[in-house]
Structure 1
Amino acid sequence: MVLKAVSKPTLEKNGYAVHVECKVAIMRQLRHPHTISLYEVLATRTKIYFVMEFAVRGELFHVVAVEAVYHHQKYFWQLLSSMRHCPSHGVYHRDLKLDNIHFDQDMNLNVSDFGLSALRSRIQHDGMLHNLCGTPAYVAPEILARKGYDGAIMDVWSCDIVLFVLNAGYLPFNDYNVTILYRKIKNLVTRLLDTNPETRIVMNKNYYMLC
């Protein structure tokens, strides 16, 4: 287990108190073998303490950075198992990335950090979520369109990005300039979904350059 302490005055000053309450509510709903567990929440006059499961083997990000990743299928199925569990309990992660995936003692994958997650109650009258969130290299194109999105389907896109990295060792879209990064994503998706077969992207040796 690990104990995480947060300052109450800091939360209140920055307007994060409600945000933390929402995160706690979400994590208490999610009891799953491949999701980091929140065991207890304790409070004093000035601090809030979170008693959580400890990810002994660290982040997937660090594993990919230093060595080739084996057992891709095992890790991906564990990830999908966790992500299928979330919407069945009215939760959408919305910030799935290598940094938020950890390993336990037996090198089983666990999803963590539900700080940007949304509950089903946040869905608007059109059946969609609308607030912009996520990490640029992992965010789904529909988020950038600002027309509403399905939280569960958004998480599928992020899962696919993780799968790509597990196999390739690098992100399919990457750039220090976020504007250019989004332009790359939009360009690839637009060309893949071109309704005109004459101008649709073809599978040639230069295909990878689009990313």
Structure 2
Amino acid sequence: MVTVRGGAMAAGAEFVEGWLVAQVLGEGAYGEVRLLVHARSGAAVALKVVRGGEAGAGGAGRAADAAREAALHRALRHRHVLRCLGERTHQGLHYMFLEYAPGGELFDRIEPDVGMREDEARRYWRQLLSGLQYLHGRGVAHRDIKPENLLLDDHDNLKISDFGMATLFRHGSRERLLSRVCGTVPYAAPEVLAAAARPYRAAPADLWAAALVLLAMLAGELPWERAAAEDARYAGWLAAGPAAPGPWRRAGAGARALLARLLRADAARRPGADALLASAWLREGETRAWRSQPAGGEDGAAAGEGAAELSAADMDALICYSQPAQPDDLPPPEPGALPLGRRRTRLWLRGEPAAALAALAAALARPGLAAAGRQRAARGERRAGAAGLGRAGGRGARRLGGAHAAGVPALPRLRASILASLCRAA
């Protein structure tokens, strides 16, 4: 391991065998974050270094906090939560190896006094809520949600990072109230600032901060310095809501209505992450398409993106088969049912419909194939009343079949009809 003096690492030095130290990604009072690059493969990780070994209670406390942060962070697995890949302690320093997010901070995407386009803000905020929904479901409060702690990966997807202030607020069905004043003041909920006098619930406080992140994305500024009565702009918000002077006018009507619900002084009246994700404004512009294979969610990479990086072995490992590969996994056939194939893999390809049909017709016209197709079609016609296409799935898959509504052809007949028409076209 590279020798570290005073917590600083020289760029270009070898951290451990094969891993080179690159530029500084961020730094603070007690440490820094560096980029590590693997010399042979080019793989990159972020290395967070926390100085915690100095003599005295302060150094010991920082070391304990770093160990607690790493233990909590390593247990989290979600597409919108930055991964913690590992940790170690060496010569009084605590190292955390984190997923590298090359897109940088969300903060840098926000133009001061302008913000960003509403559709971009909506997408990032949907991803933020998805991550918070997961964290709160695991009983984890982040307690420092702000644009600087929201990173973007190489597909421009948001990742919640920096769990230095995070804590567990629920274990099983038991929820505890929090009493620590922490976070970044302009994003802190009023109950957090008053926590010394009265403990507060964790989830509504995180969602309050998320609401201010949304306003920052839409308006390019924050509405107040602190959510307390002595702040004149916050007092104006309490009196007039979105009609108060300030950045609210730069947010659309739907977003303002959502912010008015979330930025209520009474935490008990704020909606939860589930309700927010189902809100009309957040679902605006949302498109959904039926697919026979998982597409990785709306936040995944675009189809075909990154395909050049996958080897044949990678592709084989990623393909999801719509029927079991082993004959023993197949349910026993029912009387009169069509047999299931060992593998029926359905893939979506991009192309023009006319060209695709022409290519299919050409393939069906190969010697012997058209005749075999006609024979299969004839067999399908003879089985017009048969029940039996199995749903994609494994052992015990439900079957479609039985009585059919008047005028609706049985699935085997329909499939045979389509096959016959294609064979005739060939």
TM-score, reference length from structure 2: 0.42
Contact 2:224 2:234 in 1 (8 A): no
Match of 1:63 in 2: 109
Contact 1:34 1:81 in 2 (8 A): yes
- Asked if 1:3 is matched to 2:52, the reply is no
For 2:66 and 2:241, the matched residues in 1 are separated by 47
Contact 1:141 1:185 in 2 (8 A): no
Match of 2:349 in 1: none
For 1:118 and 1:27, the matched residues in 2 are separated by 10
Match of 1:187 in 2: 235
CA offsets 1:123-144 (integer angstroms, 9 cap, x no match): xx99411111111110001112
- Asked if 1:100 is matched to 2:165, the reply is no
For 2:154 and 2:246, the matched residues in 1 are separated by 39
Where in structure 1 are there 5+ consecutive unaligned residues?
192-200
Q: Give the superposition deviation at 1:28.
A: 1.4
- Asked if 1:208 is matched to 2:245, the reply is yes
More helix by share: 1
Secondary structure at the aligned position of 2:86 is classed as strand
Larger radius of gyration: 2
Match of 1:76 in 2: 125
Aligned residue identity for 2:245: Y
- Asked if 1:42 is matched to 2:88, the reply is yes
Match of 2:188 in 1: 139
Contact 1:35 1:112 in 2 (8 A): yes
Identity of aligned residues (%): 30
Secondary structure at the aligned position of 1:50 is classed as strand
- Asked if 1:165 is matched to 2:209, the reply is no
CA offsets 1:19-71 (integer angstroms, 9 cap, x no match): 11221122012111111110011233433221111120111111114785241
- Asked if 1:24 is matched to 2:61, the reply is no
For 1:203 and 1:62, the matched residues in 2 are separated by 26
For 1:161 and 1:203, the matched residues in 2 are separated by 13
Q: Closer, same or farther in 2 for the Cα pair 1:2/1:12, shift >3 Å? A: farther
For 1:20 and 1:36, the matched residues in 2 are separated by 16
Q: Closer, same or farther in 2 for the Cα pair 1:44/1:12, shift >3 Å? A: farther
TM-score, reference length from structure 1: 0.80
> After alignment, is 30-39 or 8-17 more displaced?
8-17
Match of 1:153 in 2: 204
> After alignment, is 113-122 or 53-62 more displaced?
113-122
**Bigger relative contact order, structure 1 or 2, given CA contacts below 8 A and separation 6+?**
1
When the two chains are superposed, the root-mean-square deviation of aligned CA atoms in Å is: 2.9
For 2:202 and 2:162, the matched residues in 1 are separated by 16
Contact 1:96 1:155 in 2 (8 A): yes
**Once superposed, which parts of structure 1, at least 4 consecutive aligned residues long, lie more than 4 Å away?**
178-182
Aligned residue identity for 2:188: V
Secondary structure at the aligned position of 1:16 is classed as helix
**How many residues matched?**
195
Contact 2:169 2:177 in 1 (8 A): no
